[in-house]
Amino acid sequence: QVQLVQSGAEVKKPGASVKVSCKVSGYTLTELSMHWVRQAPGKGLEWMGGFDPEDGETIYAQKFQGRVTMTEDTSTDTAYMELSSLRSEDTAVYYCATPSTIVYDFWSAPIWRYFDLWGRGTLVTVSS
């Protein structure tokens, strides 16, 4: 049974960085395309970016480019999301999520059709 186990809650000051982890069990990370989705308190879901295992590149949502870095440690099957220059609006629950199967289009670009595997979420609070 596949599980995504996320790291615990964090409290950070404005301007700091936070690094959230997501450990995969029941699969190897190389079989998956890990994505990160966040949800501010009382707000909707927001896609931050995802990893293309075909070419080893990560695609970031335009809103977060330059401020977010998603990495993977395949030796421990752990994915990481680091967000820098934190501000109060970054207070949110951060989820790792992945499709259990990936399909590719004619140009070998991944098509992210859905996310059927989710971590439980990590609350990041940004407060002075």
Partner 1 sequence: QSALTQPASVSGSPGQSITISCTGTSSDVGGYNYVSWYQQHPGKAPKLMIYDVSNRPSGVSNRFSGSKSGNTASLTISGLQAEDEADYYCSSYTSSTVVFGGGTKLTVL
Rule CB under 8 A: which residues touch partner 1? 35, 37, 43-47, 50, 59, 61-63, 95, 97, 109-116, 118-121
Residue among 24 and 110 whose Cβ is closer to partner 1: 110
Residue among 2 and 45 whose Cβ is closer to partner 1: 45
Min separation Cβ 91 and partner 1, Å? 16
Q: Are the C-beta atoms of residues 36 and 97 closer than 8 Å to each other?
A: yes
Residue among 14 and 120 whose Cβ is closer to partner 1: 120
Min separation Cβ 96 and partner 1, Å? 10
Residue among 79 and 95 whose Cβ is closer to partner 1: 95
Min separation Cβ 45 and partner 1, Å? 4
Min separation Cβ 36 and partner 1, Å? 11
- How far apart CA 117 and CA 114 sit, in angstroms, is 9
